[in-house]
Homo-oligomer: A and B are copies of this chain.
């Protein structure tokens, strides 16, 4: 085994909750809010913990949901997103009259990376009305502009140059940036929305060569909305090996449980079971591989797949459908957060229902 170099595998994740798990910072203070089956986790990284995680200092809100197939679930998710985004705008000191610039990163031509551009398609923009004659615009609407900077392969231009060029000429008061992310966990893919006030950073995003766009670099608050839409093969394999251990442990504990035996193995959902195996048992099941820590495991799989060109970034088959629905939910929620009129209509509909 000494031949296999276990040097640190650089986990590529843009999700703070994944990073926390990987770095064993599990004791970091988290606030959780439950709205039906949708859970929001709020984490504040101070300078020290940010450094440990190689992330930026700031607030991170992670919204986790199961499914958005039908329209009522899309509506529920939208309501939670409006609430949490409003909360983050308040934390960032953004006022009702502040001018907003919404930016959709990514590549419209590549489905898993098309989230940002698709969100922008449905943002309600008003800047040109304010420019023409502000006295004519109802106070129920905010000054909003929106833009798709495109990708370097199509424009030849770094997207941060596009964004900064437009900011310099249009002087917005704050930015909202939407981007597709990479997950380091199968079960977060297309099932998580992450909000943060820390902006966009190098190496994040599906098309991973972003320059930093943050309050530090451009002087105005930058709210980032990210959805993980791809995952790499290392993650899939590593997760599966952990699941093997977990299932083995689950079956062992339920060995003498007669009711358990009546459930077909295919329906024994062991996901919430806490793996509880001795080192001996792990080795028996999975040899040396079974005894590795998760990080070491990922390093090993990375070393196996990379030399032969198989460390694919993959995306679930139904990604077209999910991106379509998620982008609608996100754009509608942003509109409702930004424009008081739409927010009131949302509240009206919610009170009608009850």
Which residues of chain A have a CB within 8 Å of any CB of chain B?
1, 3-5, 109-113, 120-121, 125-128, 131, 144-148, 150, 152-158, 161-162, 164-170, 186-187, 206, 230, 233, 236-237, 239-241, 243-244, 247-248, 251-252, 255, 265-271, 282-290, 300-301, 303-308, 310, 312-321, 352
| Closest-CB distance, A343 to chain B (whole angstroms) | 18
Q: Could you tell me the distance between the alpha carbons of A285 and B2 in the complex, rounded to whole angstroms?
A: 12
Is the CB–CB distance between B150 and A155 below 8 Å? no
Is the CB–CB distance between A243 and B157 below 8 Å? no
A146 and chain B: residue at smallest CB distance: B155
Contacts A3-B252, A169-B161 hold; do A156 and B317 have CB atoms under 8 A apart? no
Contacts A147-B162, A320-B110 hold; do A3 and B270 have CB atoms under 8 A apart? no
Query: Told that A147-B162, A186-B312, A187-B310 touch, could you supply 13 new A-B pairs with CB distance under 8 A?
Result: A127-B156, A147-B155, A147-B157, A157-B166, A162-B166, A165-B166, A236-B237, A240-B310, A247-B303, A266-B303, A287-B290, A313-B316, A315-B316
Q: Could you tell me the distance between the alpha carbons of A240 and B245 in the complex, rounded to whole angstroms?
A: 17
Give the chain B neighbours of A170 by CB distance below 8 A.
157, 161, 165
Q: Give me 8 A-to-B residue pairs in the complex whose CB atoms sit less than 8 angstroms apart, sorted by A's number.
A: A1-B285, A110-B320, A147-B155, A164-B169, A236-B314, A240-B310, A247-B307, A266-B306
Contacts A147-B157, A306-B266 hold; do A317 and B317 have CB atoms under 8 A apart? no
Is the CB–CB distance between A269 and B308 below 8 Å? yes
Interface of A is mostly: helix
A154 and chain B: residue at smallest CB distance: B125
Contacts A3-B251, A157-B145, A165-B168 hold; do A243 and B109 have CB atoms under 8 A apart? no
Contacts A236-B236, A285-B288 hold; do A316 and B305 have CB atoms under 8 A apart? no
| Closest-CB distance, A244 to chain B (whole angstroms) | 5
Contacts A150-B147, A284-B288 hold; do A239 and B127 have CB atoms under 8 A apart? no
Is the CB–CB distance between B148 and A243 below 8 Å? no
| Closest-CB distance, A3 to chain B (whole angstroms) | 4
Contact of A317 among B162, B268, B290, B315 (CB under 8 A): B315
Is the CB–CB distance between B310 and A186 below 8 Å? yes
Q: Could you tell me the distance between the alpha carbons of A300 and B209 in the complex, rounded to whole angstroms?
A: 38
Among A283, A284, A319, which residue has the most Cβ atoms of chain B within 10 A?
A319
Among A113, A126, A236, A240, which residue has the most Cβ atoms of chain B within 10 A?
A240
Give the chain B neighbours of A300 by CB distance below 8 A.
244
A167 and chain B: residue at smallest CB distance: B165
Give the chain B neighbours of A120 by CB distance below 8 A.
154
| Closest-CB distance, A111 to chain B (whole angstroms) | 5
| Closest-CB distance, A151 to chain B (whole angstroms) | 10
Is the CB–CB distance between A317 and B112 below 8 Å? yes
A121 and chain B: residue at smallest CB distance: B154
Is the CB–CB distance between B154 and A289 below 8 Å? no
Give the chain B neighbours of A315 by CB distance below 8 A.
314-317, 319
Give the chain B neighbours of A255 by CB distance below 8 A.
3
Q: Could you tell me the distance between the alpha carbons of A155 and B271 in the complex, rounded to whole angstroms?
A: 38
Q: Which 5 A-B pairs have the closest CB atoms?
A: A165-B165, A125-B156, A127-B156, A145-B156, A287-B287
Contact of A111 among B111, B155, B252 (CB under 8 A): B111
